[in-house]
Amino acid sequence: MKKVLAIIAVVVVILAATVSGASAFPAGTWVSGVTVANLSGDTAAVVITFYNPNGSVALYFDGGTIGPNGAKTWYLPSHVPGLADGFIGSAVVEADQPVAAIVNTQLPSGSNPMRVGTSTGVGQPTPSVYATQLMKNSGGWNSYCAVQNAGSTAFNVNAYYFNSAGTQVDSDTQSIPGYASYIFDQSTDAELANGTYSARFAGDADHPLAVVCNFYNVGTSASTEQFHSYNGIGQGGPVLHIPRVVKDYYNYQSGLRVQNVGTEALAVTVTYYFGGNSYTQNSPSIGPGQAWGPYLGSEAQLPASMAGLSGSGSAVVEVQSPNANKLIIATVNEDNRVNPAGRGVTYEAALPTDATNTLIFSQVTSEYYGYSSGIQVAKVGDGTSDCQACYSAFGPISAFCVPFSLSDATPSWSQFAPSAPGMIAGISNDNYNGAVTVTCTGQPVIGIANNSFRFDRDKRYGNVLGDAFTTARGINN
């Protein structure tokens, strides 16, 4: 029996003419890259079916095989022959072993300034999906959401939009054919005033959805090229875990966006962990549908105890006085507005049930066409966890593992891939693009992997300005 992984808006525009900023995408020619990781110890055979917006099959692509615990990347303009230029649609990945995937939406390789965002293939679509952060001309920022029908028959999808006070201000209904996708474009929605919103997308009870949202800056210069991708979230809970937050960290800052997806007003407590110390912050009341969150780059939005703090850490968000009607989701932004300005990413906070003792990162790079990754892992629950991060073999790199431990005092661990023991020493000669598997005994873990263009590490391709920065959640195996 095949394992099926739905991917949302896998392909955007392939080698198409420049599109205008008035469309669902910021100006430019847009392409996609797909990375599939084999989560098993056996070889996986992979196929990808691409669907047009009307539900017809655009291409059935035989991806060949992926070795045990390995990964394969397809840059669609050059690695998927037969997919027509100008295609925009969705895809479904199938394999005879469990797989995970990430999708890059980007300007073509070599673009300068660069724009890229990463989302995760959806393995468990749900009939109701939430989006924490959407924008229409909000200080030059706009957004759109690609919503995929994860079933084989057409059905209606409703989009409900909530303003910053939690009031529903707009709705939209679209029929989406089986396995196809529709783009809800907030920038062209005449019923929405300029501002920032949250949303809920809902289909019929028996029809699951998968959602990816992108929001992006105006793009008039390299410092305003930020392009953020994140997955819509189908399930909330009373506790969320965040494996990485930063404050004044090499000019990077985090921002949180916590959305109430329950039926009662609630408040949350955020506990930040930096350098063996913890700091707490209490939110105001958050109404149903409403979203709230601080920007860590603004001291005024944080507890006084965090003044002057800098570094990389983790966080936990908890509902105060929890009950069955008080549920939250959250996304985490990280951006650089100073140097290299114009970079930004977004990823989804994790429920305790997302934690695992085996965590897969589909794509980790080390000086690969100028890109290098960092991974950050955080434990869930009290107690210790002894772990190892194992890099799969790729090119000149042999497989190797790096041990580490997590405790209540230091609940997170990070590693910059080029600095990992086992990489070839020196600059500009790693050329690594593979998967990393984290296994732990003790408390389960969650994590993310960043990927960014690092001219300081790899000078072979010149410097790239703009948003050459992505993040993806690790996959629970």
Q: Is the pLDDT assigned to residue 346 strictly greater than 90?
A: yes
State residue 427's pLDDT score: 60
Q: How far, CA to CA in Å, does 178 sit from each of 51, 54, 328?
A: 9, 9, 30
In the chain, the percentage of residues whose pLDDT exceeds 90 is 67
In the chain, the percentage of residues whose pLDDT exceeds 70 is 94
Q: What is the arithmetic mean of pLDDT over 228-238?
A: 95
State residue 17's pLDDT score: 29
Scanning the structure block, which residue is given the tokens 């991060």?
389
Residue type, 95: A
Q: Is the pLDDT assigned to residue 7 strictly greater than 70?
A: no
Token pair of 279, please? Answer: 């700091």
Q: What is the arithmetic mean of pLDDT over 346-363?
A: 94
Q: Where are the domains of the chain?
A: 3-120, 128-137+146-231, 239-348, 356-476
Q: What is the arithmetic mean of pLDDT over 49-70?
A: 91
CA quadruple 261, 237, 258, 355: dihedral sign: negative
**Superfamily per CATH, domain 128-137+146-231:** TM1070-like (2.60.290.11)
CA distance 364 to 451: 7
Q: Are strands 466-467 and 114-120 parallel, antiparallel or unpaired?
A: parallel
Token pair of 43, please? Answer: 């070889």
What is the three-state SS of 66-84?
ECCCCEEEEEHHHHCCCCC
Taking only Cα atoms into account, the Rg of the chain, rounded to an integer number of angstroms, comes to 21
Q: What is the CATH number of domain 239-348?
A: 2.60.290
Scanning the structure block, which residue is given the tokens 């072979």?
460
Burial of 23 (0-12, 13-18, 19+ CB in 10 A): middle
**Under a CB-based contact definition with an 8 Å cutoff, are residues 119 and 91 in contact?**
no
Q: What is the CATH number of domain 356-476?
A: 2.60.290.11
Scanning the structure block, which residue is given the tokens 């003044």?
307
Token pair of 163, please? Answer: 């303003």
CA quadruple 92, 95, 98, 100: dihedral sign: negative
The CATH class given to the 3-120 domain equals mainly beta
The helix/strand/coil state of 455 is coil
CA distance 215 to 33: 18
Q: Is the pLDDT assigned to residue 236 strictly greater than 80?
A: yes
Nearest to 335 by CA among 295, 369, 304: 295
Band (51; pLDDT cuts 50, 70, 90): very high
Instruction: Give CA angle at 81 (77, 82), nearest 5°.
Output: 110
State residue 338's pLDDT score: 86
Q: What is the arithmetic mean of pLDDT over 440-450?
A: 96
Instruction: Produce one character per residue of 170-204: b if its CB has 16 or more CB atoms within 10 Å, e if not.
Output: bebeeebbebbbbbbbbbebeebeeebbbbbbbbe
Q: Is the pLDDT assigned to residue 16 strictly greater than 60?
A: no
State residue 141's pLDDT score: 95
CA distance 221 to 236: 37
Q: Strand order in 412-416's β-sheet?
A: 412-416, 371-379, 445-453, 469-473
Q: What is the mean pLDDT of the chain?
A: 90
